[in-house]
Chain A
Amino acid sequence: MNDKEKLLSVEDLKIHFPTDEGIVKAVDGVSFDLEAGKTLGIVGESGCGKSTVGKGILNILERPGKIAGGNIFWNTDGNNVDLASIPPDSSTMRAIRGREIALVFQEPMTSFSPVHSVGNQIIEMIMLHKDMNKKEAKEWAMELFNMVGIPNASTRIKDYAHQFSGGLRQRAMIAMAISCEPKLLIADEPTTALDVTTQAQILDLLQELQEKHKMAMILITHNLGVVAEVCDDVAVMYLGRGAEQGPVDSIFHDSKHPYTKGLLESIPSINSAQGERLKSIVGSIPPPFNRPKGCTFHPRCPSFIKDVCDKHTPQYLPLNDVQRVSCFLHHDPKKEVE
């Protein structure tokens, strides 16, 4: 892949939260690239830092979090900006945030203001980023409501967030996110709070909008089923680090990292026999202040190599043109130690 095709390229991103008890390294070296119009899935379990990556790209980290290292190159119309190096409140960042990169949050209930109508919140955003007066902005907002499948747009636009059902609220959230026709949509667990039938509707909508507007999308989720259904590429994270990434088919059928393999085996399959025991990963996710030395996965890893995995940290290196993995099973430890 040549550099010009990359819309976003994240290199060795580190996001740390200094607290009284020590530094929580929520994201500790993550790299990935995204081409225009493609969908990247970021998967991992709770505490792996996947949501923090999403917020880090937009630089809207909660205090005391800050980007402690690495680059986030945002590449549009020949302009190459490193989002990690510009201040979060700078005009450049504010022009990109919402207009070029938009975010859909996990909980649609808490991400809308309860005291302003949903329509007004969307209109406010349109007027901020687009050269439109209030009347034009309202018309555009109604068109967006139609686009995302909210019925009776003209009356619904006056409603407040609590008057919407979960599915409709998520649709309104998406309408707001796409209102400025962003080039990249980051969807953080967009369907986790929803029922399966609603989830299917929302995923359909996202794919449809993506095709229509040629948006790139980063889908952050813990649900491997959702990833398999919509993503082109997948990055798997474990405890703030990238474990493995590659095209969706290679992740599901030719996974290299023991964690990815374990994760895939531990999801109950529709085709397995009733009563059959699942293969599970031993142990549980360690607390944030007490991360294992060496490869952070080694205490749970079935292919653990003594004196290697517990002493040295594997680097996140390319395996071939498309796959990248951080595991000593695939990289010679001697070379890396030097």
Chain B
Amino acid sequence: MTQIDDQNNILEVNNLTKFFPIKSGFFKRVVGHVRAVDDVSFTLKQGETLGLVGESGCGKTTASRCVLRAIDPTSGQINFTTSNGNNVDMAALSNREIRPIRKEIQMIFQDPFSSLNARMTLLDIVGEPLLVNGMKNREERLERVSELLTLVGLRPEYMQRYPHAFSGGERQRIGIARALALNPRVVVADEPVSALDVSVQAQVINLLMDLQEQLKLTYLFVAHDLSVVKQISDRVAVMYVGKMVEIADTNKLFEKPLHPYTEALLNAVPVPDPRQRKTEKKHLSGEVANPANPPQGCYFNPRCPYVQDICKTTKPTLEEVKPGRFVSCHRAKELDLSGIIK
């Protein structure tokens, strides 16, 4: 039986790995692997929001989908505490065994335009998870859907309409209502606001925060926009080329990052205030490493301004340097890096 050490943790991901094979030639032989998620570990505490950030191709989406078992991981453990108190390793379950657990972990998608079926009404879209999970009575379903729509700030009278009648922000609310239909305990939100306009984005972020308080939800919030992550997350996990490089409390991470990549990422964010224009610019050079052919040693070493010989030969491991602060860098203890808030 699997074991979750800390009682506060609802989810523990240990050494999660997902390699996608690269096939080539007539016989589709496997010639290599894209190391999308490479030995990643993190935990989700009951009721918190963990922000998962990184640049495109860093594996944040793959990692979050493995948590849902939307993608089967190559190896690793995903320990989850179910609502009746059992600990299960989701990575080891068969598709049939995982079914009852699925309703406890739900997902909100990035693109509100392609994630809703244009030929289904709101009632069908939001009601579908209810139907699949045994709510056969139409009246009952109608009631629950109208309750859900009210919860996310849409008028229940709209439930006979089709998605095209709604704006981007409203569509995202529909997606949220669908995710909440089965009373999940964990919600994985993959870039839920990045397709929205600024003025609408704020409404959806506020809604997500309100719902979390009301329904005691736990969020895994995947995003690339650091200011959004800062607003909503209790803790932040930073990924780079399939590896977890740093995990820390949000404020501590923004005040004083411990990994050079986190520092570079924070300092690259443009500040919406002309009076705070950066006089001295230290921007990363080079490009993100190829996950099919990562560099020797630390994956960040070709771009790292603090690189030393050890970084080019030995892979660092994710270590807890202070309570609750995990970092994967050989020089984490000696470097004095600068954050962006005081």
| Chain A interface residues (CB < 8 Å from chain B) | 45-46, 165-168, 195-201, 203-204, 222-229, 231, 248-249, 252-253, 262-272, 274-281, 284-285, 300
Contacts and interface: CB of A to CB of B under 8 A. Distances in A.
Interface stretch (B2-10, B277-285, B306-314, B321-329): B277-285
B136 to A, nearest CB: 36
A225 B267 CA distance: 12
B199 A281 contact: yes
B274 A248 contact: yes
Given A225-B272, A248-B274, A279-B202, A270 B287 contact: no
A24 B209 CA distance: 37
A167 B273 CA distance: 25
10 contacts: A200-B284, A252-B275, A265-B202, A270-B227, A270-B341, A275-B232, A280-B200, A280-B202, A281-B199, A285-B167
Contacts of A270: 226-227, 230, 254, 269, 271, 340-341
A293 to B, nearest CB: 20
A227 B270 CA distance: 9
A196 B230 contact: no
Contacts of B167: 284-285
A45 B270 CA distance: 18
Interface residues of B, number: 51
Report the 5 A-B pairs with minimum CB-CB distance, sorted nearest first. A225-B270, A280-B202, A266-B202, A195-B55, A281-B199
A267 B277 contact: no
Which residue among A195, A197, A248, A265 has the maximum number of chain B CB atoms within 10 Å of its CB? A197
B227 A197 contact: no
B197 A222 contact: yes
A227 B277 CA distance: 11
A259 B234 CA distance: 31
A246 to B, nearest CB: 12
Contacts of A300: 199
Contacts of A167: 287
Given A222-B197, A266-B201, A284-B200, A197 B230 contact: no
Contacts of A277: 206, 209-210
A231 B210 CA distance: 36
Contact of A197 (B199, B264, B271, B281): B264
Given A196-B269, A225-B272, A280-B203, 13 more contacts: A196-B224, A196-B268, A200-B270, A226-B270, A228-B270, A263-B198, A268-B228, A268-B231, A277-B209, A280-B200, A284-B167, A284-B168, A285-B197
B197 A46 contact: yes
B272 A272 contact: no
A195 B224 contact: yes
B283 A200 contact: yes
Nearest to A222: B198
Contacts of B198: 45, 222, 224, 263, 266-267
Given A225-B272, A266-B201, A269-B227, A196 B265 contact: yes
Contact of A228 (B205, B234, B274): B274
Contact of B273 (A196, A252, A262): A252
A248 B276 CA distance: 12
B271 A228 contact: yes
A227 B55 CA distance: 21
Contact of A267 (B169, B272, B278): B272
Given A168-B287, A278-B206, A249 B199 contact: no
A230 B283 CA distance: 15
Contact of B283 (A197, A225, A226, A269): A197
A124 to B, nearest CB: 27
Contacts of A279: 202
Nearest to B165: A287
Given A204-B283, A253-B275, A268 B288 contact: no
A203 B169 CA distance: 29
A197 B265 CA distance: 6
B30 to A, nearest CB: 23
B250 interface: yes
Nearest to B57: A195
B233 interface: yes
Contacts of A228: 270-274, 276-277
A50 to B, nearest CB: 12
A274 B285 contact: no
Given A268-B228, A270-B340, A284-B200, A224 B275 contact: no
Interface in B194-229: 197-203, 205-206, 209-210, 224, 226-228
B160 interface: no
B169 A284 contact: yes
A280 B234 CA distance: 22
